[in-house]
Structure 1
């Protein structure tokens, strides 16, 4: 029985694990920066057609996620075109599901894209980081308003 449980846990970790399969030449879509230079900020959206879109930071990925039509040449019509939305856990550098991540607003750390929203797999990790780096608020992906992305980009 224990072997069956261990196999099930191991199999589920493979099914729900993600990878950031970029190279030194991979460039982020929104800011056109080489993503390998700052691995703790990298994000990715994998489309249902197999195409992989990389971003130099969670903020850039969220900007695309909220307004995919702005980059019409990518061919995304709706959220139904998204297979996986992945961010890098700022603390562990492991790829995690962006929809289950916690984002810290207002910290004193900046990404290659400027003011940003570092991502964490757990609320506790986000809270610890927030306290250490003067974070103002912890949010889930669905709580991040487009206006906040505009503010972080200096558009307000």
Structure 2
């Protein structure tokens, strides 16, 4: 059983609860594996990042589907 999932806030690198984070999709910032969901502790930080880096959408953990993840690099399920 998975009890805890954490991600690193993009700006602070602080470990945050993945289920509470805000994720920016479709920005011009790439991670080590290419396009990715960029996590933030606060919605305000996510909104600022989205504006500065041409993000397309802010998602919560519950909204992230396999289709969204596979679509980051143009893959289809």
State whether TM-score is above 0.5. yes
Does 2:48 correspond to 1:96? no
Does 2:29 correspond to 1:109? yes
CA distance in 1, matches of 2:24, 2:75: 20
Unaligned runs of 5+ in 2: none
User: Which runs of at least 4 in structure 1 moved beyond 4 Å after TM superposition?
Assistant: none
Unaligned runs of 5+ in 1: 1-80
Relative to the length of structure 1, the TM-score reads: 0.47
Q: Give the aligned CA root-mean-square deviation in angstroms.
A: 0.9
Instruction: Note the alpha carbon deviations across 1:103-152, whole angstroms, 9 max, x for none.
Output: 00010000011100110000000000000000000000111121111111
Q: Of 38, 54, 58, which residue of structure 2 is paired with 1:134?
A: 54
Larger Rg: 1
* Structure with more of its chain in helix, by fraction: 1
Number of residue pairs the alignment of both structures matches:
76
